[in-house]
Structure formats: structure tokens, C-alpha cells
Chain A
């Protein structure tokens, strides 16, 4: 239920009144071939859910994950868990010493939704025993929440809660771009991508360093990763591709203000570099790196020529913001966008086919001549999005105002749209992996980022499906004693994905422990050495 995940109750919510703070009833069902849970089958759903928790839910794996190799220092026990019960009662600030306690509670209460919160300075269940100020959130994974409902202005296939394979492309692209940025740029290694059960994905960046990030650091990372500005409200994507929002933050420039001695010169420099310059080796290399799906040399030549033209141009309205956009991480993202734009936007979304659709794109073209000309041309005739896009590119190639427009459009349509609040607040809750979505019955399974293009949200295991498999597949494998129940179900592959992620964490923990041990023994050695030295001193 992404709605609830996005706006978890505040800290005190539960103290006020559990009933009124319960998440709102979820939106109407997707109207496709997915299984629906009607109120008539609610009892059946809970019976299945209980079996799911009893026999399939990977509690020990959760412990391995959230224990982070610190079983003794109570790290796991200081984690907040919250349950949404079938009665819509919402229980916050629960905590469990270990996997058995967690299992007992979950099997017993059979929550329809499980949220995972922060690691606190004490066990959340003891919250009431201390003064309000003395209970503080210390750490949490750096999490991201991307939801297809935020793409409604560019989706033409479905809207609101519905999804299909076509628009799932937006999520695939988001995973590709964010994964690269988080690993390459920030050096994070342990990312868990999870299907949110309906129309989005979550990411849990679980590195030690990520968990310890301050509020400000999370905000900075989110800003670094945000291009299409998202206003918290309905229409998050109206703003054009732009530099990260500096306006709200510039107050801090006084704190960190610079002398700005050579800023003039810098700007000159950057404008030149951003505007292009075909003989510039930086530019050349970039071209060779870019994966031009169409592979037509004509396009490449055109863009070069255009870049050269721009260098002669004195007018910098777009170029002046290009340096931001040309940040390395955005260039890298741009390559991904470029690769997907044709298939996703032109073919599947068919985003230039009708007047309401192409108007959105034309609105981003800074050259009024082009806008009117193409609108005249297109509004009566029929035409494929691919042809129209080509036509638009040709027009823009001739215009002096459109140096970055093609790129801007791609970012606007395809660049990941983040829910900043979820990521920034340390004490925000996010739905746990392996929850069952109460409306779709789908399990929130991990997604392997290296194979995210293969992920199909329409075929993920459902509660009915896997519990059914438990029965039908039981006999075949009954000989193999050590087997776990889930291995006989479609859940198996996804738990293996989860374990791959856990393995990475375990490796690092092991390495860390080894290093600590080594350091400790070295210290002992040094001590011994020192003692020896001392004795020698004595003998002299």
C-alpha cells in the first residue's frame, strides 16, 4: 500500500489514537486480470496469510539482514516494527529480540501489512519508559520509494493504481539509473530492490555507511538524484528538467559561502564545455560512449554540428544550465534514457500520437516557431510518434534555442521521480519486503537489479498461488528432509535473490570482523613487544 508507506504516521501517532491513525482504506482495485480480494473472501485471505507467515515468510533471513552481523549488541532488537492489522488497527513501536520473537508476534497477530522503521537508541517497545526526548531514531537504511502514480502525466496506457508491462518500463529505468548512481557515485554496495506489491518499487540501501547517514546527508543525496522536481502535491512533474533546487538552500551559502574569486572565469569555461565543441576531447569521448540505439550516423553528425553552432552563438539561456545537467551522473543517466526513449515513450506510450499528448512535448520546446508549425501540421493529420519525433528533432536541430531540449524531454519523461520525504526522514517507515499486498495478493518480492528488465510485476507470486503450491508440490519433494517449505513454491527464486543480497552483507561483516580481530591481535603484539622492550631497558 504505497499510500501508507509514503505518509507513515508521525512519531506520536500511536499515542494519540490507534484507530484514527490507521492508514486510509486503500484505493479501488486495479481493473485487470489480477486476483482480487473481495470482502467475502477476506476470511479466506487471512487463513492463507497465516499459513504464509507460518511456513513461508523468511524470518531467519530477516534476522540475518536486520541484525547486520551484530547479534549481540541488540541492533536487531532496537528496530521499530509496525503492524497494520485486519481490523485497520495500526500498531507502532514494536520490537523483537530475535527471529523467534518476531515470528511468534507476526503469526499470532497476522498483520496485513508490516512496516519497518528506524533503529532507535533503545528498544522501541520500551519507548514509554523514558522521557519523550530520550527516545531517538539513530539509524535507518537509506530508502527510496518510486511509484507509478507519480508518472501519470506521462503514462498513456494506464492511470492511478493500474499498471501494465508497458508502463513498468518507467520503473525498470528508474532502477537502472538509481542503482548505478548509488553504487558508482556513493559507493554503496548492498542495495535491496523490492516490488512494492502494486505499482512501484522500493530500495533499501543497507550499507553501514548508508544506515548512519544524517538527515542532511539523506536530503543532499535525494537532491543529487532529483532532476524532475517533485512538488509533494498531485502534480509532481510539471516543472521542467532543471538543476537541483538551489533556491531553498541558498540560505546556507552564507554559512559555506565561498570567496568566488574566479567564478567568472569558471562560468566561461563551463559554458564552453557544456555548449559542446566538437574538437573537445571530453565531448568526443562522450559521443563514443553514448549508446545510440538508432545507430544512425546522421543523428550524430547533426548533434555535432549543432554543438558547434552553439559555440558560435552568444545566447546562453539553455546552455547556462547545461553545466548542471552535464554532471557526470546525469550524462550516465542520459545514456540510459536515450536507450529507452524510443521504445518506451515513442512506441509504447505513443506520446506524440494525439494532440493532448504531443502538446506536452511541444510545450517544452523553447522555440515558438517550431511549436506553432508542428502543431499546425499535426493537429489534423495522423502520424506515428516515431516519425513525429524525428521531425521534431530535425526542426530543433535547425533552431538555435533548442540545444538541450531533446535531452530535457527525455529527462522529463523518463528520469526517476523520487518521493523525497520517505528517503529523508530517518524515522519514516517503509513496507517490509515479502509483505503480501492486501488488495492484489501479490508478494513484495525482491528484484534483482542486474536483471531488472526481466522483472514482470504481473507474474509475481501471489498469496493464493504459493500457498496452493505448498499443497500441490508437497508430495513430490517430501523425501528431501532438509528442504524449506518455500523452496517448493514460486517464492523460491525471490528468496534466493534476497539471500544473494544477504550474502553480500555477510561477506562484508566477515571481512570487518577479521580486520578487527587482526587489529586487536596486532595491538596485543605491540604490547608484548613493548613489554619486552621494557624488560630490556631494565636489564641495561
Chain B
């Protein structure tokens, strides 16, 4: 990287052409897709813009966080982030200036700029929030840095003017042997490599892994590791800026329109309403199809389903959670009434009409406030209606004991490694990530196993299977909604049932 950075002089000449190419005045203050956000945005915003911008960025930061929780593989992380990033905070790179137009680039970057500053305001209040934001923003910045072209990166870095002097040839010769030992470079490779000399405190990640040569308190960072320096500089910059914001915010509270919005942003869980796959044209689900579809239920719903079959009853909140889920799956009111009537096998028609039919119709907006209720999202299930010990509703990853969870995982037939991984995520409060991990690792195999178990008459969802991790399922977006799991699972099954198997 950065051949033109070998000396400043040659670097300057090499980039003159590029500078003129990209110095498009229509880009305004945003000559790069990358931004260190040193200046606040001077724009007027509507409250609505304010909120959507912030939420869009927050979705991406959540994805960034999740990606890191899910895997250590950078390529997978990037692929994962990319999907969410491109949907909510798309940023065209400069090479696309002619393809999409400078105005579009400007708009995207303006939004990026604004949304970053809104989140600063929303997340500056406590040390924990600040820490979270710094971490995710730095990861997001580095993701974008990785996506950007070499020449652009170099140009951006140059403009940043980060203090990282290049080691002179003579200095390098003095420690040549140590550098080569540290990096396993050949003599020629060493010759070709640019090193920066910075205080070791700036590259702790490298120091910690003994991945850098350190002498007299200076770290000799090879150009390959330059991103560590950039990340460090960005992180330091943002940390300081957030602390300054935190001190300034009490004054801002005077603008009381913003306060509730900001407060809600930092509490935001991104519980987007569920939009069923296939829209209105989906097949209707009949009351007698529920058992066979249960293989596609997420853990929470399987749990409710098996409790219903076992007890022939569900309590109020459980009925709501499961009933709305079934509604989302595609069960119309008439079918739902039959389903619940037959499921509550121990009571009379009369009792059912008196005590339960109302609830079912209520779910469909035909009673009470006459709202057309939507199925609960994971966040809603996880955060509201805290179940009592005797209840069966809620999210298993949150409510189950470690042992119950282990048994459940065994039921899904996942291996010990995955099981431990999921348990760890659940323990740390990353319930949806745990759920997603389970989905991925079971993939189609769990569904097949479940089918087999069902065929054998064990309709309670407890299946036994091999202990190995199911391959072939790519990393999916975090499970936000039980119906999302259902749709993914069903789609997967549909694809894989084709004889040609085009997975």
C-alpha cells in the first residue's frame, strides 16, 4: 500500500491528477466517502428527518455490533455489515461519481454526517453509552475504510494529517534485524516496506499481540498495519469529542423538542414492524396445518406450541404471543377460532365462547380497541410481560436456565461448540444473536430432523439429531422477529426440497 507515500514528495505528485478528478465542487464539504466528523453539520433539520436519520444509522451500528459478536472472520463480518449498511446508510464511493451523480454522493454524505452527530448527542449521556458508540462507530469507520479504494484511502489519510512519521531509511537500517524478526520479512520485503514510528500507546492492539516491534517506547508500525493507527486516531478523536458533547448537552436541554427524541433514540431497539414475506398473496394457513409447520417455528413459538399440546391450555399473554404469531404466519380469523377451540380440548364450547373467543377476535381487531394487532417482535417479547416462573411465554434465550437451554439446543441437534456459543451469547444478554446463531447452525438439518420426529409421533418439538454443525447456511441477518425466523425457515425448506437442490 501507499507506494506514493514512501516519500511525501512523490506522493504529492502522484495524487495531483486524482485530486483534480475528485475535487468536484458539488461534493461540498465531503470530498471523501470517509469522514472523521471534525465539524458539526450546519444544517436545519425537520424533527422527522432527525429521527429517521438517527435510526437508520443506529440499525447499521447494531449490525456492526452483531457482526462482531457472531464471528471473528473479517470477510464474513464485512459481508454481514454490507447488507444493512447499503440499505440504511448507503455511501457511494468517489469512483461512482459519474455513475450516480455528484448530487447523490453529496446527499448520502450529508445524511451520514448529520446522523453521526445526532447519535453523538443521543449517546453522550453516560460513560457506557459513550463507550458503546465509540466502539461501534470506530468499527463502522473501519468497515468503510476497508471498502474504500487504496488511492482514496491514501488521499484521505494524507489529508487527516495524523501524526505518524515515516521511519527513515537510516533508522530502519538500525533496527532492520528486529523488524525482520518481528514480521518475518525477508531483507527485500523490509526494503519495500514503509514503517511508521508512533508512541506504543497508539497501537495497543499490536503491542498486546507482540505483532509490532517496540523500542524505547516507540512502535514501528508496518504500512500493512496502518489501519490500526487510523482506527486509533479516530477512536481517540471521537472519545474526546463525545466527552466534550456530554459537557455541553445540559445547555442543549433547553430545546425541549429534542430531548424526548434523543432519549428515545438511545433506548431504541429497532423493532420494525413485521412485513410478511410474500405480502398479501400468501397461502392461508389452516388450523390443522399448525403441527406440520411447527418445524419452522423459532424456539419461543415451539415452546408455546408444545406447551399448548401438552396442557391443552395457554395463559393470556402466551395466547397473545402465539396467536398473533399464527396470524402473522397466515392464519385467518376463522381458522384461528377453530384452532384454539380444538386446542383447548378440555373445556366446553360454552366456556370457550365465553372466555376465549373474544381474545381471538381481539387479536384480529374485531373487539376492544379494534386495532389490527401485529405479531410481537423479538424485542417486545424480550422486554415486556416479564414471565413468572410458571409462565411459558417470553424468549427462551432469556428465560431458560442454562440447563434448559442446553437441553433445548440438544433438541435442535446442534453440536457442543455451537451450544456453548449460544449459551454464552444468551448469558451476555444477546438473545436475538443467540437465536440467530441457532438458526444458522441448525439450518435445514434441524428441520429435517424435526420432520422425522414429527413423523414418529413426537410432535412436541423435541428432536434428536447428530451433533455436528449444519453447513451450507450463510450468515443471516439477526432475528428481529419470530415470524422472520418462520419465513426464513420455510423459504429455506422450499428451496431445498427441489430435487435439483439449488441451495
A, B from the same assembly: yes
Taken together as a complex, chains A and B put the C-alpha atoms of A219 and B181 apart, in Å, by 24
Which chain B residues numbered 352 to 383 have a C-beta less than 8 Å away from chain A?
none
How far is the CB of B49 from the nearest CB of chain A, in Å?
Answer: 29
Contacts of B186 in A (CB 8 A): 269, 272-273
- Distance between Cα atoms of A331 and B179 in the complex (Å): 13
Instruction: Find chain B residues with CB under 8 A from A220 CB.
Output: 204-205, 207-208
B340 to chain A, nearest CB (A): 45
B1 sits at the interface (CB 8 A): yes
The answer to whether A256 and B224 touch across the interface, beta carbons within 8 angstroms, is: no
Contact yes or no, B209 A257, CB < 8 A: no
* A266 to B189 Cα, complex, angstroms: 9
A246 to B206, CA, bound (A): 11
Given A269-B184, A273-B186, also A285-B139 (CB < 8 A): no
Quick one: CB contact mask for B287-331 with A, threshold 8 Å, 1 for yes?
A: 000000000000000000000000000000000000000000000
Residues of A within 8 A of B216 (CB): 184-187
Whether B209 lies near A254 (C-beta < 8 A) is no
Binds B, one of A9-17, A209-217, A425-433: A209-217
Whether B209 and A258, one on each chain, are in contact in the complex, defined by CB atoms closer than 8 angstroms, is no
Expressed in whole angstroms, the Cα–Cα distance for A285 and B77 within the complex equals: 42
Assess the A262–B224 pair: CB atoms within 8 A. yes
Q: List A contacts of B21 (CB < 8 A).
A: none
A256-B201 contact, Cβ under 8 Å, with A271-B184, A323-B184: no
Within the complex, the shortest CB–CB distance from B66 to chain A, in Å, comes to 11
The answer to the question of A259 belonging to the interface, with a C-beta cut-off of 8 Å to chain B, is yes
User: Is A522 part of the binding interface, using a Cβ–Cβ cutoff of 8 Å?
Assistant: no
- B:244-267 near A, CB below 8 Å: none
Q: Is the CB of A256 within 8 A of B208?
A: no
On whether the beta carbons of A254 and B68 are closer than 8 Å, the reply is: yes
Given contacts A257-B142, A282-B177, contact A266 B208 (CB under 8 A): no
Q: Which residues of A contact B205 (CB under 8 A)?
A: 220, 249, 252-253, 256
Interface pair A223/B209, CB less than 8 Å apart: yes
- Mask for B179-214, Cβ within 8 A of A = 1, else 0? 011111111010000000000110011011110011
Measured CB to CB, the nearest residue on chain A to B228 is A256
Cβ contact within 8 Å between A259 and B146? yes
Q: Which residue of A lies closest to B226 (CB)?
A: A258
User: Counting CB contacts under 8 A, is A330 at the interface?
Assistant: yes
Q: Say whether A25 faces chain B, with CB atoms less than 8 Å apart.
A: no
- The B interface, classified by DSSP as helix, strand, loop or mixed, is helix
Query: Which B residues are CB-close (under 8 A) to A187?
Result: 215-218
| Per-residue contact bits, chain B 135-171, to A (CB 8 Å; 1 contact, 0 not) | 1001100110010000000000000000000000000
Whether B224 contacts A255 by the Cβ 8 Å rule is: no
CA–CA, A185 and B175, complex, Å:
12
Given A187-B216, A257-B142, A258-B228: A327 in contact with B207 (beta carbons within 8 A): no
The yes or no answer to B429 lying at the interface (CB within 8 A) is no
Interface check B172, CB cutoff 8 A: no
- Bound together, the chains give a CA A81 to CA B182 distance in angstroms of 41
A29→B207 CA distance, assembly (Å): 41
**Residue B231, interface by CB 8 Å:** yes
Question: How many A-B residue contacts, CB cutoff 8 Å?
Answer: 141
Q: A217-B201, A244-B209, A256-B231 are in contact. Are A274 and B67 (CB under 8 A)?
A: no
Q: How would residues 15 to 31 of chain B score, 1 for a CB under 8 Å from any chain A CB and 0 otherwise?
A: 00000000000000000
Query: By the criterion CB–CB under 8 Å, are B213 and A255 in contact?
Result: no
CB distance from A359 to the nearest CB of B (A): 30
Q: Which residues of A contact B184 (CB under 8 A)?
A: 266-267, 269-274, 323, 326
Q: Does B5 contact A (CB under 8 A)?
A: no
Q: Is the CB of B208 within 8 A of A282?
A: no
Residue on A with the closest CB to B178?
A328
Assembly CA distance A184 to B200 (angstroms):
13
Chain B hits for A217, CB < 8 A = 201, 204
Q: Are A326 and B209 in contact (CB under 8 A)?
A: no
Chain B positions 46-79 with a Cβ under 8 Å from a chain A Cβ = 64, 67-69, 72, 74, 77
A537 within 8 A of B: no
Number of interface residues of A (CB under 8 A): 53
> Are B74's CB and A273's CB within 8 A?
no
Check A327 against B182 for contact (C-beta < 8 Å). Answer: yes
Q: Which of B138, B139, B180, B224 contacts A273 (CB 8 A)?
A: B180
| From B67, B135, B139, B208, contact of A223 by CB (8 A) | B208
Task: Choose from A185, A254, A286 the contact partner of B64 (Cβ within 8 Å).
Answer: A254
**B227 at the A/B interface (Cβ < 8 Å)?**
yes
Chain A interface, >50% SS class: helix
Q: Is A329 an interface residue (CB 8 A)?
A: yes
Residues of A within 8 A of B215 (CB): 184-185, 187
Instruction: Determine whether the beta carbon of A243 is less than 8 Å from that of B142.
Output: no
Residues of chain B with a CB closer than 8 A to A274's CB: 184
Which residues of the partner chain B approach A244 to less than 8 Å between Cβ atoms? 208-210
Does A105 make an interface contact (CB < 8 A)?
no
Known contacts A257-B74, A262-B224; decide if A224 and B64 are in contact (CB<8 Å): no
Residues in A neighbouring B183, C-beta threshold 8 A = 266, 269-270, 323
Indicate whether B335 reaches chain A with its CB closer than 8 angstroms.
no
With contact pairs A254-B74, A259-B146 given, residues A266 and B207 touching in the complex (Cβ less than 8 Å):
no
Give complex CA distance A253, B182 in Å.
Answer: 19
Query: Is B469 in contact with chain A by the CB < 8 A criterion?
Result: no
Task: Write the nearest CB–CB distance from A35 to chain B, whole angstroms.
Answer: 43
- Nearest-neighbour CB distance to chain A for B465, whole angstroms, equals 29
How many Å lie between the Cα of A77 and that of B58 in the bound state?
Answer: 45
Interface assignment of A221: CB less than 8 Å from any CB of chain B: yes
Does B232 reach chain A (CB closer than 8 Å)? yes
Complex contact B74–A213 (CB within 8 A): no
Residues in B220-252 with C-beta less than 8 Å from chain A: 224-225, 227-228, 231-232, 235
Known pairs A223-B209, A266-B224; A326 contacts B181 (CB<8 A): yes
Q: Which residues of B contact A272 (CB under 8 A)?
A: 184, 186
Contact status A254-B77, CB under 8 Å: yes
Question: B69: which A residues are within 8 A, CB to CB?
Answer: 251
Query: What is the CB-to-nearest-CB distance from A326 to chain B, in angstroms, rounded to a whole number?
Result: 6
Cα–Cα distance between A406 and B177 once the two chains are bound (Å): 23
Q: Are A327 and B200 in contact (CB under 8 A)?
A: no
CB distance from B39 to the nearest CB of A (A): 24
CB distance from A171 to the nearest CB of B (A): 23
Instruction: List chain A residues, Cβ under 8 A from B207.
Output: 220-221, 223-224
Minimal Cβ-Cβ distance residue in A for B188: A269
Most chain A beta-carbon neighbours within 10 Å: one of B67, B178, B184, B225: B184
- Once the chains are docked, how many angstroms separate the CA of A258 from the CA of B142? 8
Closest approach, in angstroms, between the C-beta of A325 and any C-beta of chain B? 9
Contact residues of A between 221 and 274, Cβ < 8 Å to B: 221, 223-224, 243-244, 246, 249-263, 266-267, 269-274
Shortest beta-carbon contacts, A-B, top 8: A270-B184, A187-B217, A187-B216, A220-B204, A273-B184, A220-B208, A254-B68, A223-B208
Additional pairs, 15, CB under 8 Å, beyond known A220-B208, A281-B187, A328-B182: A186-B217, A213-B201, A253-B74, A254-B142, A255-B135, A256-B205, A259-B227, A263-B224, A272-B186, A273-B184, A282-B177, A323-B183, A327-B182, A328-B213, A331-B181
**What are 12 inter-chain pairs, A to B, with CB distance below 8 A?**
A186-B214, A214-B201, A216-B204, A253-B205, A254-B74, A255-B138, A256-B205, A257-B143, A269-B184, A273-B180, A326-B184, A329-B210
